[in-house]
Amino acid sequence: MRYHFNEIEAKWQKYWSQNQTFKADNNSDKPKYYVLDMFPYPSGAGLHVGHPLGYIATDIYARYMRHKGYNVLHPMGYDSFGLPAEQYAIQTGQHPAKTTEENINTYRRQLDQIGFSFDWSREVRTSDSNYYKWTQWIFIQLFESYYCNDAKQARPVSELEEVFNAEGNYRINAAADENIETFTAEEWKNYSEKEKQEILAKYRLTYLSETEVNWCPDLGTVLANDEIVNGVSERGGHPVVRKKMKQWSMRITAYAQRLLDGLDKIDWPQPLKDSQINWIGRSEGAMVKFQISSSKFQNSEEFSPLGVMPEGQRGEKGWDIDVFTTRPDTIFGVSFMTLAPEHELVSKITTDEYKDAVEKYIEATSKRSERDRMADVKTISGQFTGAYAMHPFTGKKIPVWIGDYVLASYGTGAVMAVPCGDQRDYDFAKHFGIEIPNIFQDIDISENACEDKTAVIANSDFISGMPAKKAIKRIIYELEQKGIGKGKINYRLRDAIFSRQRYWGEPFPVYYKDGMPQMIDLEHLPLTLPEVEKYLPTADGKPPLGNAQVWAWDSVENRVVSNEEIDNKTVFPLELNTMPGWAGSAWYFNRYMDADNSDEFAGKEALEYWKDVDLYLGGSEHATGHLLYSRFWQKFMFDKGLVPVDEYAKKLINQGMILGTSAFVYRWEYNNEVYTDEPKKTIFVSKNLMEDIIKERSSIAEANKEKKVEQVDLLGLSDSGENQDAKWSHFTPIHADVSFVNASNELDIEAFKNWRPEYKDAQFVLEDGKYIVGREVEKMSKSKYNVVNPDDICADYGADTLRLYEMFLGPLEQAKPWNTAGITGVHGFLKKMWKLYHGGNDGAFFVSDQEPTKEELKTLHKTIKKVDEDIANFSFNTSVSSFMIAVNELTSQKCNKRAILEPLAVIVSPYAPHIAEELWGELGNKESISTADFPIFEEKYLVESTKNYPISFNGKFRFTMELSLDLSKEEIEKEVLVNERVQEQLAGRIPKKVIVVPGKIVNIVG
């Protein structure tokens, strides 16, 4: 019987599905183990061989843990809201739900044929209203919560109101370290309901605010910074402008410190932790308040009396500029201040004299996106405002400038400029001829600023002579004494904008009464997406939901009604924005624990049982998106007592990308000037030929250094005369679809010609009658025509071969190129393994019940040991090697013993489950192999009595000697020195020293 993988695989996939073999139980005496993959967005292109890599690794782990006696949860689902389905809907008018459904079906078919042990009964889809009902509910919980800095956790907003009623917000503000205007209990009670709501919004964990965003008018949506390249949208290249919009935001900044601290207790890759640490960007320093003079006061050098700005000189209330600095010790080096052009004080403090210039400058900078400004480091630009601040310690007048090197979004959007201690300030000062006072002892600043923190401070009054650390402490103390500053920890992390002007996302459970947002009660959720005619923004610039006819909330009936009823006093407009892509993925791992629950996002018992993810696997590209937001939501839900742990994934591994091997053909282009009248010819030159030509050309060019080489006919195409004047232009590499190329890089010319009409009549210049393509490793992508489809691999070699080969390619965490040619190796291994069990007549199944030999047991047990270790280290590639070694050895031992082959099937089964199930069945077992225990490694089978010692001379290996392992150091040395070959090597010399490491090596130093 031959190894008919297609039949075997179909048979067992059907068996697993019918018997629900991998359904996980929420109640079990076994210990739990939760293995999670990052769920995919179901794109229209389907899976390529890069996608299942991580799923195969987790599937091996899940199956292994089942063999080891764990109750394993291994679920899968779809992150099914997203832009591509919406773009497709805009183009074709098809409802995104429909295309999404179709894509999911394709994904499911593709996943099923690879033989994953997913518990599909727990499937989640973020676009399913039974799921997003709970996403909406979590949003409401965030709205109803604020971050209490005393308790260091989220608390109900109702508690905050109680505090305000009792004592105002003085104490809360002091703890929160926020710039929220203070009020007393009395004042609070006198505020209108609307005023109260506006104040509470400043504390809620999700809130509406005017946010400056990257607005793309053509796409009708807000773009994230990384969706903009060179000032235009990445998708389509449309212009992008900065625009203020009312948006929902998530107060993730409240959790900045806890998100940092939490990293210490989870086993995640250090690079990933580093990028989160970077993203959060904690820096310690101080806030300092600089008072601004009134525009009338312009004349003298200093304000007096020192430190207190006289009434007549001081600017209006609220004109003070707060700055954040990490180097308060350099404050005596301040010679100017710079505000971001967008800073709210700019228009107020600018004097009449400079108004025009400042407006012009702001106009010029607003045209550049923030990212643009940051990318362009070299150009120094700025404008003096005419205003002056007072130095808090010297009373000196400090000119206030604006400059686009200061970013509105970091710190307070203003800096105290210390040109001697900061290179950017230095360059700015040099450029505009501003004074550069030196406040460092024995440091030359004539060329560059001194950013070295070990420099001693000088010329700085009471901190002169102090090292930085001490000076910082002292300055902060003095600032606090004067009441114009304090120590402060600043974070780079910004609150996350949570609104999108798109259709295919979760609707907010929000309607607006008097312009104030109102939440819809849980019992009326889900609030499902309305039907719209067009998926584009409305003519007046509203999001796509603005096209919906039935999108108003009846607050009495508690249901969605037609917009026409808004005139009615109890009917209100619903929110038109939808939630961003990361909303649904920020908590899905909890839903898997109890996916069918319709009363709760997940039941308490299920949450208590599964608790957290033991192993989470996915790409590192989610480091600062999904993996940060989901940690934030988990911490919030933990604070609310909704989940039992505040970090949801104990261990995380980033799988490396599988790269494609692109194929290139080389188009030779004639000089267009010569061929303006001719129909353009397309000639492709075979790779090695092209390389020879290039080489030859450069050597001809070398030989004729002075003469210009213009008329060279290296291809011999000029015989007809028509190409006599052909000038060299160059070779253009063009992607050819990899399916046209065989293993020896030979192009199927006919297939290529039929690919595109413009190649129909192309000419090919061959070598040895073949067209050889060039190859290059790139990201696997449809646009590079280097995508390899797993369907083809499964059909040609089988799912077990695909699974083994993906693991065999290299370490899981490393990026590695795919090359289908190598797949015959692992496929051959499976065939060889099959043969071990089918040594009967005509390849019939045949195993014997004889006692295995010592050698056979040794092979088996060293393999068990290796695979145990490899799986613990996620080193799946080396396991595949050891399977090959085992099968090679057993084959040469002619082993057909049940006592060896039965456990062998079990250890292979996590990797190649179909063939293992089949062999397991043939061995006479009635249950699925997944119920079998993993064989136990026994040391006794590996114990050796002798060792082939490597004998080295001066560290250089020469030959081996077989010696008993019972020998002592001295005995080994004795035996070695009397050996003939050793004597030969020594040639009469007496060794200085003999190093003997029993069981390892002998090294003779002479």
Partner RNA sequence: GCCUUGAUGGCGGAAUUGGUAGACGCGCUGGAUUCAAAAUCCAGUUCUGGCAACAGAGUGUGGGUUCGAUUCCCACUCAAGGUACCA
Binders of RNA in range 625-684 (CB under 7 A): none
Q: Closest CB to RNA among 542 and 958? A: 958
Nearer to RNA, 544 or 798 (CB): 798
Residue from 58, 77, 59 nearest 587 by CA: 77
Check if the beta carbon of residue 656 is closer than 8 Å to that of residue 818: no
Smallest gap from Cβ 425 to RNA, in A, equals 7
Among 462, 477, 846, 957, binds RNA (CB under 7 A): 957
Q: Which of 302, 621, 678, 710 binds RNA (CB under 7 A)?
A: 621
| Shortest CB 275 distance to RNA, Å | 4
Q: Is 624 in the site for RNA (CB under 7 A)?
A: yes
Q: How far is the CB of 862 from RNA (least distance, A)?
A: 8
What minimum distance in Å lies between the beta carbon of 1000 and RNA? 4
Using CB under 7 A, which of the segments 140-148, 761-769, 805-813, 843-851 binds RNA?
805-813
Q: Interaction with RNA in 467-506: which residues (CB under 7 A)?
A: 490, 492
Shortest reach from residue 838's CB to RNA, in Å: 13
Residue reference for tokens 């309607």: 511
Listing DSSP states for 662-677 in one string gives EEEEEEEEE-TTTTSS
Name residues contacting RNA, limited to 501-530 (CB under 7 A).
none
Examine residue 821 and tell whether it contacts RNA (CB under 7 A).
Answer: yes
Considering only the stretches 375-383, 462-470, 630-638, 794-802, report the one whose residues sit in contact with RNA under the rule CB under 7 A.
Answer: 375-383
In angstroms, the CA 100 to CA 868 distance is 40
Q: By the 8 A CB rule, do 338 and 414 touch?
A: yes
Which residue stretch of 185-193, 239-247, 344-352, 955-963 sits at the interface with RNA (rule: CB under 7 A)?
955-963
Closest CB to RNA among residues 578, 661: 661
The neighbouring-strand residues paired with 573 are 552
Taking the C-alpha atoms of residue 209 and residue 249, their distance in angstroms, rounded to an integer, is: 7
- Of 404 and 639, nearer to RNA (C-beta) is 404
Contact string 738-777 vs RNA (x = CB under 7 A): -----xx---------------------------------
Return the closest-CA partner of residue 618 out of 43, 75, 36.
36
Kindly identify the residues of this chain, within the stretch 327-346, that bind RNA according to CB under 7 A.
327, 340
Task: Give the range of 115-123, 289-297, 750-758, 881-889 binding RNA by CB under 7 A.
Answer: 881-889
Give whichever of 415 and 637 is closer to RNA, judged by the CB atom: 415
- Nearest distance from C-beta of residue 658 to RNA, angstroms: 10
Q: What is the footprint of RNA within residues 705-744 (CB under 7 A)? A: 743-744
Within 399-428, the residues that bind RNA by CB under 7 A are 404-407, 409-413, 415-416, 422, 424
Are the C-beta atoms of 131 and 584 separated by less than 8 Å? yes
Q: What residues from 256 to 275 belong to the interface with RNA (CB under 7 A)?
A: 270-271, 274-275
Phi-psi region of 988 (alpha: psi -120 to 50; beta: other; left: phi over 0): left
383-390 and 397-402 strand pairing: antiparallel
Identity of the residue, 271 or 310, whose beta carbon is nearer to RNA in the bound complex: 271
Looking only at residues 520 through 579 of this chain, which bind RNA when binding is defined by CB under 7 A?
none
Report how far apart, in Å, the C-alpha atoms of 702 and of each of 417, 650, 693, 706, 707 are: 56, 63, 14, 9, 10
In the three-class reduction of DSSP (H, G, I as helix; E, B as strand; rest coil), residue 651 is classed as strand
In the window 977-1006, what residues touch RNA (CB under 7 A)? Answer: 993, 995, 997, 1000-1001, 1003, 1005
Query: Which of positions 203-232 make contact with RNA (CB under 7 A)?
Result: 225-226
Q: Which span sits near RNA by CB under 7 A: 4-12, 163-171, 498-506, 951-959?
A: 951-959
Size of the site for RNA (CB under 7 A): 92
Q: Helix, strand or coil for residue 196?
A: helix
Q: How far is the CB of 885 from RNA (least distance, A)?
A: 5
Minimum CB separation from RNA for residue 341, in Å?
Answer: 11
Applying the rule CB under 7 A, the residues between 142 and 171 that interact with RNA are none
Q: Contact between 325 and RNA (CB under 7 A)? A: yes
Tokens 């901190």 locate to: 463
Contacts to RNA from residues 274-293, by CB under 7 A = 274-275, 278-279, 281, 283, 285
Q: Directed axis angle between helix 876-892 and helix 799-808, to 10°?
A: 120
Angle between helices 876-892 and 854-872 (to 10 degrees): 170
What minimum distance in Å lies between the beta carbon of 631 and RNA? 16
Contacts of 161 (CB under 8 A, 6+ apart): 196, 200
AA letter at 176: A
If we measure between CA atoms, which residue out of 497, 512, 500, 636 comes closest to residue 209? 497
Closest distance to RNA from the beta carbon of 876 (Å): 10
**Contact between residue 138 and residue 42 where contact means Cβ atoms under 8 Å apart:** no
Minimum Å distance from CB 591 to RNA?
27
Q: How far is CA 803 from CA 49, 825, 827, 880, 920, in A?
A: 10, 13, 10, 10, 19
d(CA 823, CA 809): 9
In the complex, least distance from residue 104 CB atom to RNA, rounded to whole angstroms: 27
Q: How far is the CB of 137 from RNA (least distance, A)?
A: 30
Residues 510, 574 contacting (CB under 8 angstroms): yes
Let me know the angle formed at the C-alpha of 628 by 623 and 632, rounded to the nearest 5 degrees: 170
> What is the distance between the alpha carbons of residues 400 and 768, in angstroms, rounded to a whole number?
75
- Binding residue for RNA, selected from 379, 454, 481, 720, defined by CB under 7 A: 379
Q: In this complex, which beta carbon is closest to RNA, that of residue 278 or of residue 304?
A: 278
E runs forming strands in 891-955: 946-953
Whole-angstrom CA distances from 776 to 64, 733, 779 are 36, 11, 10
Rounded distance between C-alpha atoms, residue 813 and residue 876, angstroms: 11
List the end-to-end C-alpha distance of the chain, in Å, as a whole number.
Answer: 62
Give, as ranges, the residues between 827 and 846 that touch RNA (CB under 7 A). 828-829, 831-832
The correct pick among 314, 816, 838, 861 for binding RNA (CB under 7 A) is 816
Alpha-helix runs per DSSP H in 20-95:
52-67, 83-92
Burial class (CB in 10 A: 0-12, 13-18, 19+), 454: exposed
Identify whether 526 is preceded by a cis peptide bond (ω within 30 of 0): yes
Site string for RNA, 16-55 (x = CB under 7 A): ----------------------------------------
- Show the site string, 845-874: x = touches RNA by CB under 7 A, - = not: ---------------------x--x-----
Among 17, 704, 711, 814, binds RNA (CB under 7 A): 814
Phi-psi region for residue 495, left (φ > 0), alpha (ψ -120 to 50) or beta? beta
